[in-house]
Amino acid sequence: MFIYIIRRLIQTVPVIIGVTIIVFLLMHLIPGDAAQVIVGEGAPKEKVEQIRESLGLNDPLPVQYWNYAGKLIQGDLGVSIRSSRPIAEEIFKSRFWITVELALYSTILAVFLGLTAGIISAVYKNSPSDIGVMLVALFGVSMPNFWLGLMLIQYFAVDLGWFRPSGWGTWGQTVLPVITLGTGGAAIIARMTRSSMLEVLNQDYIRTALAKGVRERAVIYRHALKNAMIPVITVIGLEFGGLLGGAVLTETVFAVNGIGRYVIDSIRARDFPVVQATILIISLTFVLVNLLVDISYKYFNKRIDLD
């Protein structure tokens, strides 16, 4: 397994380089002048040109990217244009961990609801329970997060006053954003669990175990579910990465001061270095999560040889 992990880490290097190139080019295609943002709209052209020269914006794109990549290797994510503070300090001091907490709690909720619903739906195939669960899952997949968030705020925060409509940190501030972000993932996990469980439940060894008198609960949870988890784990890993990106809208709706809201504010201010850094960090996190997902395959299926 150690050799496999080293090999996968090496394989992520081209992915990371590709991400940095794409993000760098996309930021330079966005209309707007970072130097103009710094000095203001009414500043003289000489001042704007001076800022452009100090930031290296007059250099050719390959030179700008080379300088940008060199700083990344040293762990320097750059300086925010708006605040003139190191981006790494602004992100990792609090914002990044808030978003990770939101995505993690939402993933836990999505896994719990999704696995439960998918197992019930598969065991009671074509029953009213199965139909009801799949209808709810279809609704969860189709429902926009921002709309659900606004509805939850209106009903549970404004009308009933049970929870806080904004912020992060207390239990009352955490519940609604987690439900908003985790609902869509729960629906996808439920559909994948049902499909995978149905395939396993139709296998001969399952029918043989039931015919020998093994308890149905033991067959479902000890044998069927464990063998059906491989595709479900893949979906869970992808969902966690998707939730990191999907936190942008949720954090905006609930005024959560995480990395998603940080990106939105930076895009509005044309703070290109911040946008580059945050997208790169989210991409790296997603790559590491996929590595953990691949390693977890060995636990659920001993026949998989990672090396």
Average confidence (pLDDT) per 10 residues, the chain, 307 residues: 73 80 75 63 69 70 80 78 79 82 87 86 81 81 80 85 81 86 84 83 76 75 75 81 76 82 77 79 79 71 56
- Does 108 lie in the same domain as 53? no
Q: To which residue do tokens 């598969």 refer?
A: 122
Distance CA 35, CA 273 (A): 12
Residues 63, 100: one domain? no
Residue 21 CB neighbours (<10 A):
13
Are 21 and 139 found together in one domain?
no
Would residue 83 count as lying in a domain? no
Torsion of the alpha carbons at 153, 159, 163 and 164, rounded to the nearest 10: 60
The CB density around residue 172, as the number of other CB atoms within 10 Å, is 15
Q: Would you state the structure tokens that stand for residue 12, as one six-digit string?
A: 């992520």
* Chain center to CA of 301: 26
Longest Cα separation, the chain: 86
Question: What's the structural domain count of the chain?
Answer: 2
Q: What is the DSSP letter of 162?
A: -
66 and 102: one domain? no
Q: Are residue 272 and residue 130 in the same domain, yes or no?
A: yes
Do 230 and 289 have their domain in common? yes
Q: How confident is the model at residue 208, as a pLDDT?
A: 77
Looking at residue 42, its pLDDT comes to 65
Contact criterion met (CB below 8 Å) for 231 and 196: yes
Per the domain annotation, does 90 fall within a domain?
no
- CA dist 122 and 129 (Å) reads 10
Strand partners for 86: 79
Q: Which amino acid is at 267?
A: I
Do 45 and 186 share a domain, yes or no? no
Q: What pLDDT does 13 receive? A: 80
pLDDT of residue 20: 80
The domain in which residue 116 lies consists of: 96-300
* pLDDT attached to residue 146: 79
Q: Report yes or no: 176 and 149 within 8 Å, Cβ to Cβ.
A: yes
User: Is 223 within a domain?
Assistant: yes
Clarify whether residues 241 and 109 are in a common domain: yes
Among 73, 104, 134, the domain-final residue is 73
Look up residue 281 and give its two tokens: 């960090």
* Per-residue model confidence (pLDDT) at position 32: 63
Helix 225-253 crosses helix 259-268 at what angle (to 10 degrees)?
Answer: 40
In the numeric block, which tokens belong to residue 28? 């330079």
Q: Is the pTM of this model over 0.85?
A: no
